[in-house]
Amino acid sequence: MTEKARWRDVFGHPEFRALFAAGVLSVIGDQLARVALSVLVFERTESAGLTALAYALTYIPDLIFGPLLAGFADRYPRRRVMIITDLARAVLVAAMAINALPLLVVILLLVALQAFGSPFNAARAATLPVVLPGDHYVLGKAANDMVVQFSQVLGFGTGGLAVVAVGTSGALLLDSATFLLSAAFIAFGVHHRPAPSHSTIEGEPRRSYFKDLAAGAVLVARTPSLRALVALATVAGFYVTVEGLAVPYADEIGGGAKAAGLLLAAQPAGAVLGMWLITLWPPERRMRFLGPLAIAACVPLIFCALKPGLAVTVVLWGLSGVASSYHLPASASFVQAVPDHQRGQAFGVASTALKSSQGFGILLAGVLAERFTPSLALAVMGAAGVVTAVVAGAAWRRARRIPADSVKFR
């Protein structure tokens, strides 16, 4: 029987500490950039739809670049992939800070920034289970995800203040610095490992890059449990809409930039609490409640139609974040179920589905908010999310009844 990991055991791994610090820095800076971009677009256009569109563009590029670029994490040393992509993102964010750039150019740089994020995230996700074997990985992922969410709270909560203090350009330069520090942590704290090629494991010749990408997609498509986990992940596309509409919703209920910061911080703050609580559950209970928690993450948005005010809305969005903690056991189960030499590819497929659903969800909510009101748009997306979560949860229940030894990986 595997001994249950402890927090001090997990943080006793030096490589995990380096990956942990790099992830925290990247997330804090990324949230600063998102707040700065939202404020910049809203100030220039005064349009809720265009603000949501700009925010959605931080997710939509994953539809293309997620599957196309994540495979680099399986073909090249993952440490090298993370360092190069961090340095590239530092340069792109610094360029976005140039005040004279037209808004269209800033958005194009943002698309490029997100493109480099795909191979970085795939390489980092594939490295974690190698650094933390067994139950250490589950607990380490919990620690990582909780602090990433807390970093979002810190980034969103201080983002408005940072923009006021140093301006949008200053916030973007701070973001650039976080990518540089992240690259330094990885360069000095993570060991070099060769790429885990398919040929070294099965004795087969190395396949072409695009055949590898297709193999990752086929693996997910043909495995019922992986399909169901991806479907549950895409439910996030409905409740993440609070991020894209926080600024115009705050304006609708009579708040300003500070109110928007509190609203943006509510959901990730709830997620931190939820992830801590879910680690206290036995593993079997976590997996059994994935569907109900996905439903519960969407329900609070329905009450936004009542425009209940800032305090109540913060509580509602926080409860949505608590329920969204189902992503922790779902994603851990997904990664552990995939062979090491295909983790980058499979992660690219799952990440593409997740980020694309979030981007399209925010975009659709923005269209609804432009046509009606932000409060009504959030309520509609919440109701649609409940329906989707019911279907995904049913698929997960069916998949769990399939014997594990009946699934063959290639």
Domain 7-190+208-406 has CATH 1.20.1260.10: no
HEC string for 45-58: HCCHHHHHHHHHCC
Whether residue 233 is predicted with pLDDT greater than 70 in this model: the reply is yes
- Per-residue model confidence as pLDDT tens digits over 60-105: 666 667 666 766 767 788 889 899 999 998 999 888 888 777 878 8
Looking at residue 353, its pLDDT comes to 80
pLDDT digits (tens, 9 = 90+) for 352-368: 788 778 878 888 988 89
**pLDDT of 172 above 70:** yes
295 pLDDT exceeds 50? yes
- Residue 257's pLDDT band, with cuts at 50, 70 and 90, is low
Flag whether pLDDT at 50 surpasses 80: no
Helices (H), 57-96: 62-69, 72-75, 78-96
289-293 long-range contacts, CB within 8 A, separation 24+: 289/326, 290/232, 290/326, 290/329, 290/330, 290/393, 290/396, 291/232, 291/389, 291/390, 291/392, 291/393, 291/394, 291/396, 291/397, 292/393, 293/323, 293/324, 293/325, 293/326
b/e 239-263 (16+ beta carbons within 10 angstroms → b): bbbbbbbbbbbbbbbebebebbbbb
- Read off the pLDDT of residues 173-228 as tens digits, 9 standing for 90 and up: 888 888 999 999 999 988 888 876 554 444 455 556 566 666 667 777 788 888 88
Residue 199's pLDDT is what? 45
The pLDDT confidence band at residue 409, using thresholds 50, 70 and 90, is very low
- The count of other CB atoms within 10 Å of the CB of residue 200 is 12
- Kindly state the percentage of the chain with pLDDT values over 90: 16
- Entry pTM: 0.69
Is 365:245 a contact under the CB 8 Å cutoff? yes
- Quote the tokens at residue 67: 């599957």
Decide which of 76 and 236 is more confident: 236
Does residue 407 register a pLDDT over 50?
Answer: no
User: What local confidence, expressed as pLDDT, does residue 62 receive?
Assistant: 62
Whether residue 396 is predicted with pLDDT greater than 70 in this model: the reply is: yes
- Alpha helices, DSSP H, located in 203-342: 209-222, 224-234, 236-239, 241-252, 257-279, 283-288, 290-302, 310-323, 327-337
Closest CA to 50 of 235, 228, 245: 245
Query: What mean pLDDT, rounded, does the chain reach?
Result: 79
User: Quick one: pLDDT at residue 110?
Assistant: 79
Torsion (CA) 168, 172, 175, 180 in degrees, nearest 10: -150
295-300 mean pLDDT: 94
Instruction: Please give the C-alpha separations between residue 56 and each of 230, 347, 363, in angstroms, as whole numbers.
Output: 20, 21, 6
- Compute the half-sphere exposure of residue 87: CA atoms within 13 Å on the CB side of its CA: 8
Please give the structure tokens belonging to residue 54.
């700009």
Average pLDDT over residues 97-119: 80
**pLDDT value at 350 more than 50:** yes
- 20 class by beta-carbon count within 10 Å (0-12 exposed, 13-18 middle, 19+ buried): buried
